Amino acid sequence: MSKVALLSVKALTPVAVFQTQNGVEDVVSKLERDVRAMELDPTTEKGRKHIKSVAYQVARSKTALDDMGKLVKEEAMELVKRVDGERRIITSRLDALRDEVRKPVDDFEAREKARVDGIRDQIAKIELLGQRLDGLDIETLKASVEEVDRLKIYDFQEFASRADLAVQQTANVLKAAIIIAEKAEADRIEAERLAAIKAEEDHLAAIEAQKIREAEIARAAAEKARKDAEEKAERERKAAAEALEREREEAAKEAEGKRRAENKAHRGKINREVLEALITAGASEDLGKAIIGAILKGAVPHVSIGY
């Protein structure tokens, strides 16, 4: 059986096995059936050798089939390489032929696209001039109007209606913006004029107010000076009066002192004369002084000293 199996695999061709439908399946299935149909006895030495021989033949069959497959693969890869090379030739030459055939159309379409894009760019420029106008001054807006007039002479061909509409719309928007800008400019000039007038009025009012403040300050200063002078004069008058009064008090005090001194001297003189008379009458000096003191105190009835 082992020889039959090996011979049957060797008798096969790669085409029969790998290039026919179910070729591999048929060969492997037949080997499986043949091997599994054998009577294998592992209990005897001969039987075990037979089993090993069969297993070896199966391995040889696998190797033979696998080598056959490698050969088919190598041949197939060579075929693939040739086919890929031919495909590249087909692709390159037929792409070139296709491009050659299409070139007039492509050139025409490119020219047409450039022409249409140019027209659309011109229309877009016109439309853009009518956008984002807030804050633009009158000179810029008028320059945009001139730019529209320059752009509208372009040959718009089949887009002429669309271009005319864009020109009209942009022109209208620019004219409206110019009117608004001119009014805003006029309003700004008027506001500046009024502001200048108000500033001048405020300046004159400030000057007048300053004059009034200065006059008030001068009047207040004069009034203060007058009051200060009056108060000074009053202080000086009071000071003079007080000085005069002090002089009178001092003069009176001096006169009173002088009078008292003179009276004291006069009384002393009289008292000495009385004392001398008493001493002459026989009284001692101390007794005389005691008598005079008693008389002055009123201790001696009906007796007084005339000063």
Encoded tokens for 120: 């659309």
Tens-place pLDDT, residues 9-43: 666 777 777 877 888 888 888 888 888 888 888 99
Q: Distance between terminal CA atoms of the chain?
A: 203
List the Cα angle 14/73/56 in 5-degree steps. Answer: 60
Residue with tokens 């928007």: 173
Helix H, strand E, coil C: the string for 231-278 is HHHHHHHHHHHHHHHHHHHHHHHHHHHHHHHHHHHHHHHHHHHHHHHH
Give the per-residue pLDDT at 7: 43
Encoded tokens for 143: 């320059």
Helix, coil or strand: residue 284: coil
Tens-place pLDDT, residues 202-250: 999 999 999 999 999 999 999 999 999 988 888 888 888 888 888 888 8
Please state, for a pLDDT cut of 70, what percent of the chain lies above it.
96
**Amino acid at residue number 200:** E
Which is nearest to 66 in space by CA: 1, 30, 29, 12? 12
Which is nearest to 181 in space by CA: 128, 147, 133? 133
Instruction: Tell me phi and psi for residue 156, to 5 degrees.
Output: -85, -5
Tens-place pLDDT, residues 246-271: 888 888 888 888 888 888 888 888 88
Tens-place pLDDT, residues 118-135: 999 999 999 999 988 888
